[in-house]
Amino acid sequence: MLRTTPLITSSYCEQHSSLPRESGVDSASPLDLVRLTPLMKLTNGRAGVVIALIDGPVATAHADLASASIREIPGMLAGTCARADSTACMHGTFVAGILFAKRGSTAPAICPDCTLLVRPIFAEGTSPNGQMPSATPEELATAIIDCINAGAHVINLSAALAQPSAKGQRRLEEALDYSARHGVIVVAAAGNQGTVGSTAITRHPWVIPVIACDLRGRPISYSNLGNSIGRRGLSAPGQGITSLVADGKQIAFGGTSAAAPFVTGAIALLWSEFPAATAAELKIAVRQVARRATVVPPLLDAWTAYQVMATNRASRIVT
């Protein structure tokens, strides 16, 4: 049956694990590129920092997720994969691995000691013609509110609004307003349609939109760009990122879905180190870079964000 409603779609693009490199040009690792490595040496995160994953279900039985603190938000869709080969399961598990895989995994494993809330919006049914999983904006809005009410500090949204509608926009705006009032940071993939513009998600002033870049920090051509994305967003690695899949193996994918959790993970580690910080302070810290009038956002710099937070804390203590 064809869906006539506007859709929220997952935001990854398949990549091969063997990516060509330019002769004579060095590429940083994804974690080094955005200077997450020194921050990850300080902390694995802490259980009191709660990340909500609005995505597909997660293969919680994966060996590299076995020690993670994972809670499921009750809803119409199960939080644990029933079909390891479903696109929804692969997508949710892949993003969860970037954030919560155990350290030493081939996945980035940014904040394994934080707490994961799983709130699926993508079902595990067979997607026609290999299409990405989808949900309606109303379903996403409900999921955002559910995550806030369940105690999330940061929401990772590796999905993009593919077909806007007036009703869907209103519901999303209300849900994002609710997150702002409750101090819950929303990190959202900008989308992979290669367009210039904005959606109800990426232009909302509380959201941090994320585009994908290659391992030299250059924006990938299919990433959506726009004035609001350039002003309030960030760029993060989204090419050939290795993470987990449900069958116990690892795989490399790319896209803005893969980029968004690097920003989410950085915020979670900063909140772990500075638990008294407000959401507004953390948002300012991660975007503490020179601004230009451009549709391309700056690259995430997690270590500079940590230094900004540490300096601000020291200043308050002296005062």
Per-residue confidence (pLDDT) for residue 124, from 0 to 100: 86
Q: pLDDT truncated to tens, each residue of the chain (319 aa)? A: 222 234 455 555 644 333 333 333 456 799 999 999 999 999 999 999 999 999 999 999 999 999 999 999 987 889 999 888 888 999 999 999 999 999 999 999 999 999 999 999 998 875 545 566 778 889 999 999 999 999 999 999 987 776 656 677 899 999 999 999 999 999 999 999 899 988 899 999 999 999 999 999 999 999 999 999 999 999 999 999 999 988 777 789 899 999 999 999 999 999 999 999 999 999 999 987 656 668 999 999 999 999 999 998 777 665 4
Per-residue confidence (pLDDT) for residue 205, from 0 to 100: 96
Q: In the chain, where does DSSP find H-type helix?
A: 30-33, 37-42, 87-100, 137-149, 166-181, 227-232, 256-273, 279-286, 302-318
CATH number for the region 28-318 comes to: 3.40.50.200
Q: Give the count of alpha carbons within 13 A of 215, CB side only.
A: 17
Per-residue confidence (pLDDT) for residue 208, from 0 to 100: 97
DSSP 73-131: PPSSS-SB-S-TT-HHHHHHHHHHHHHHSPTTSSS----TTSEEEEEE-S--SPPGGGP
Q: What angle do CA 56, 273, 210 make, to 5 degrees?
A: 40
Sign of CA dihedral 18, 22, 26, 30: negative
Per-residue confidence (pLDDT) for residue 266, from 0 to 100: 98
